[in-house]
Structure 1
Amino acid sequence: MFSQLQNNGLVIYDENHPANPLENSQYKWFSYLTDGNIKWDEYKDLNIAILGCGGIGSLACQSLAASGIENFLLLDFDKIEEDNLNRQFTYHRADIGKLKIEKLKKLLHTDYKTNKIKAFNQNIQSVDTLLALCNNANLLLCCADTPAHSIHLICSDFSIKTGIPVLYGAVGFMNGTIGPLLLGADAAMKYKKACQLVHPLIVNKYWALSFPSNGATNAIIANMIALEVMKFFIARKRCNVINRCLNFNFPVLETTMGYIIK
């Protein structure tokens, strides 16, 4: 009976599970989901670059650190402001005026005991900066909105030049987007071309880019994005956003397909 349960994936037997209670808690979930794509020690050793450490990036980073990942590269140039505190829950009133990357780095070290974090006070204006800083990353998570829309173009160019997957995430007023997770040079090239077509509309101010934002919506999208990162590495076939973008409608709690890169 026990062997049948094991064969059906209903029971997992592992003498080498982590002794650390925090790791062990996540390892149970990891072991159930994995399709053999990556081992636990390899998962912990992933290097995730986070571009934009605000309402989405900081919370997604926290979730990924809690999941066991130890290596992060943090990119942001903002300081914490009072109006961030309604949604950026990794920061506190005492942090106002301090760099987001430094406070997030300290939080990850304090709560998850990782010293493998690099933080750069950078305003990304060209792909060259990403190439210099993120060429060893296993994935780049783009949660930045500056420079407006061209940051998507820069990150897609980075994926073309390096082959490193890039995952986008954003929150509007009452909707959020998860993806695409650019995988492969062809998908990255097609996404770059789409960005090049849309960018002139942004520059000419045909689209409004400023939306009010709150903690509930940011937290939902941030954690859905973190989950997609976990699934991508642990069980790639279960990742929903490879070369596709999902739209989450908050009023009706519904996820729909935004677009697919073919």
Structure 2
Amino acid sequence: MSTAASSSTHADALVPPRIPLADGGWLSTVSLGTWKLDHEAARAAVAASILAGYRQVDTAARYHNELGVGQGIRDAGLADGEVQVTTKVRGGDQGYEETLRAVESSRRILGLDRIDLCLVHWPLPRLDRYVDTWRALVRLREDGVVASIGVSNFSLEQIDRLEAETGVLPVVDQVELHPRLPQAALRAGLAGRGVVAQAWGPLGRGKGLLDAEPLVAAARAHGVTPAQVALRWLVEIGAPPVPKSGDPDRRLANLDVFGFALTPDEHAAIATLETGERAGKDPATDEEF
């Protein structure tokens, strides 16, 4: 895998490579997560992280920090098009007309002419509104309000239903992915459909994953941290991670995963960590609005 960074206004920035999307857009190999950051914390974190090299910022209406994210991007002062924003339609806004209004609200709060990537945050099968929500996103893409559209926490069956009823596949499915939950079958199915599997919760949300011996041993061998090993593992399996941290040093370390490569033996050891255990909610049964 190439470790070359794309061009940057700041010579010392660690800019990750871009991943092409099926619609001609792109996704950063490592994106900045902003979950649990309030407006002011998000503003400061986003501005500093962009100057350090992040080129994709992940937020959601559900996070209540879109205002800070947009301000942080403007504070960083990079040229238009250098930084992309992902936001998401929350469960309470699902439905056709509701989604049109919700995305326009997110666009205004972010202060953007166009949203780069907009996702349906949760499928919420009990409500059965995700197809109408998807139809609204398709329209918004056609109208130029959003550039790319995708989903989060969707199964292959739900994605196939979107295509069957609208003729349009998402370009991204953002799902929980880490060594305990590698979701190999889902990743293979998404790849076969031309959909990028993006990893949320890539470090296991503080539930002991980073103490696992395969990650600790690989970190020791490469002179990095277990978190960097986990993120590098995701990059190498083709599941670009969205790590988040309130600590500036950890955010920088999370970006710095392109100077080493894991060996086949290290991949085999990490594979033994699979338990199927989730650190977050199960989209098949849990709901989030």
With structure 2 as the length reference, what TM-score do the two structures score?
0.32
Q: Which structure's residues are more often strand, by fraction?
A: 1
With structure 1 as the length reference, what TM-score do the two structures score?
0.34
